[in-house]
Amino acid sequence: MEVAGTGVLLLVVLLLLVLLLLQALSGTRTPGRGHLPPGPAPLPLLGNLLQLRPGALYSGLLRLSRKYGPVFTVYLGPRRRVVVLVGHQAVQEALGGQAEEFSGRGKLATLDGTFQGHGVFFSNGEPWKQLRKVTTLALRELGMGKHEGEELIRAEVALLLDELRATQGQPFDPSLLLAQATSNMMCSLVFGRRFPYEDKEFQGVVQAAGGVLMEISSPWGQAYEMFSGLLHWFPGCLSQLLNHVGTVAGFAIQEVKQHQKNPETSGPPRDVIEAFLLKMAQGEQGSETGFSDKDMLMTVIYLLFAGTVTVSATARFTLLLLLKYPRVYDRVQEELARELGAGQLPTLADRGRLPYTDAVLHEAQRLLALVPMGIPRALTKTTCFRGYTLPQGTEVFPLLGSVLHDPNAFEQPEKFHPDRFLDADGRFQKQQAFLPFSLGKRVCLGEGLARAQLFLLVTAILQTFSLDGPCPPCALHLQPALSGLFNIPPTFQLQVHPR
């Protein structure tokens, strides 16, 4: 990883020198500065490259915060000015206390060329508000947060358990199966159908979604975020990412076209696509406050991607932690046996009876910090924050990893300690700084669904199987395979034996 990051840095510097004349001619002017937070002085052409190395962007920002405080300014390349928020208090004050002002979507250079500001994830202003409203209502009508949604998850979990039984106790990498299961849950909501685990096209889509996560978080992905203005002249540097995105997008386009051929707009929608088509048939499309076919498609692509990679990565990391810490695993199994008995798969109603298991799931999410950089925000209007004046459009990086690992909120934050989520009587207690889904206007719209998926999936596996692995616990490591916009859990081999 160190070699790869250094190679990317050297190549970026070389490209900058080669394109020096081009940059000089185009200028390095930035929008009005206002009264910005302090930060390292940017160099011409390089910005803060000397302080922020591609491949270690997040750790570099944390290092700068020790010098400049919890709110500071950096330049990713010569033009991209970003205000960085570090720690629970700063992120809470901004995203929670001034939610409207911090509700814009910032730049994600690796994907902006594909989404072009469309869809519920990338849009801004009134179109975003309408898209979020329609998407959220559709998911709720289809069962998110209701008994119907829970049954959909449990049905897919039952099929996953059959696939795990078929491994017959042999070591295997659980990544693909877990991702297929969570993807199928989202496919059932968005497309109205699921796909067989042996379906090669479906396997390819799931693997491509994981590939998108890897490429965005790679040193190349981080370099592109810093120097997209230059690197976009070299499309080959993102070819692998674009191939993965194309695979996921192509799959979604097939489903959208199939729905458009046979539209059902007379009754209640049976899936998210039908909900969009119904809304558009009511005359909203193309209006000032409405949305377009492209908005619908980009929303579907985002839901498919997010539904495939986020929960599955967290579930995989949770299973790795249980292999790494046998005492925690034994304590979870004891609680499940005591509260549920043998063979009874948990329901969401059982969560209150399983405080330690719930604590383990929360601690796994906290320790992983799946999106340590946070998703970039942007100021919707010129805003005063902590005595600084942040101009409208200023990008903001709310470092969620720094919140989840804030030593002022979590004692010994790098330690796996589920008991931090239990009170003195052993009951589950919430922690204010537990914000893996962010907060404010842009909080993850699928938070409730993700929490239900994670609980039902992991507890069902633990109720059905004993976990083991070919490596002893001391040989397992928890460091991310990649750490960029996302923390990618390391791969490992798992063995499951029927209980």
Q: Could you report the per-residue pLDDT of 294-343, keeping only the tens digit for each?
A: 999 999 999 999 999 999 999 999 999 999 999 999 999 999 999 998 87
pLDDT, tens digit (0-9, with 9 covering 90-100), for 123-153: 999 999 999 999 999 999 998 888 999 999 9
Per the structure, the complete domain to which residue 443 belongs is given by 2-498
Q: Are 141 and 269 in contact (CB under 8 A)?
A: yes
Question: CA–CA separation, 336 vs 340, rounded Å?
Answer: 6
Residue 4, pLDDT > 70, answer no
Q: Are 245 and 298 in contact (CB under 8 A)?
A: no
pTM of the model: 0.92
Residue 291, pLDDT > 90, answer no
Q: Are 208 and 484 in contact (CB under 8 A)?
A: no
Q: What is the pLDDT of residue 470?
A: 96
Structural domain tally of the chain?
1
Q: What sign has the CA pseudo-torsion 187, 193, 194, 200?
A: negative
Residue 213, pLDDT > 60, answer yes
- Average pLDDT of the residues in 462-480: 96
Q: What is the pLDDT of residue 6?
A: 54
Task: State residue 377 phi and psi, 5-degree precision.
Answer: -105, 170
Q: What is the pLDDT of residue 279?
A: 86
- Average pLDDT of the residues in 80-109: 97
Residue 3, pLDDT > 60, answer no
Q: What is the pLDDT of residue 210?
A: 97
Higher pLDDT, 375 or 31: 375
- Average pLDDT of the residues in 102-129: 94
Q: What is the pLDDT of residue 267?
A: 73
- Average pLDDT of the residues in 388-411: 97
Banded pLDDT at 15 (limits 50, 70, 90) = low
Burial of 245 (0-12, 13-18, 19+ CB in 10 A): buried
Q: What sign has the CA pseudo-torsion 326, 328, 332, 335?
A: positive
CATH number for position 264: 1.10.630.10
Residue 7, pLDDT > 60, answer no
Q: What is the pLDDT of residue 283?
A: 66
Banded pLDDT at 451 (limits 50, 70, 90) = very high
Look-up of token digits 């119907």: 148
Banded pLDDT at 31 (limits 50, 70, 90) = very low
Q: What is the pLDDT of residue 24?
A: 39
- Average pLDDT of the residues in 35-41: 95
Residue 51, pLDDT > 50, answer yes
pLDDT, tens digit (0-9, with 9 covering 90-100), for 344-391: 899 999 999 999 999 999 999 999 999 999 999 999 999 999 999 999
Angle between helices 447-464 and 355-368 (to 10 degrees): 120
- Average pLDDT of the residues in 171-177: 98
Mean pLDDT of all residues belonging to the chain: 91
Q: What is the pLDDT of residue 225?
A: 92
Of all residues in the chain, what percent carry a pLDDT higher than 90? 81
Higher pLDDT, 474 or 279: 474
Residue 25, pLDDT > 70, answer no
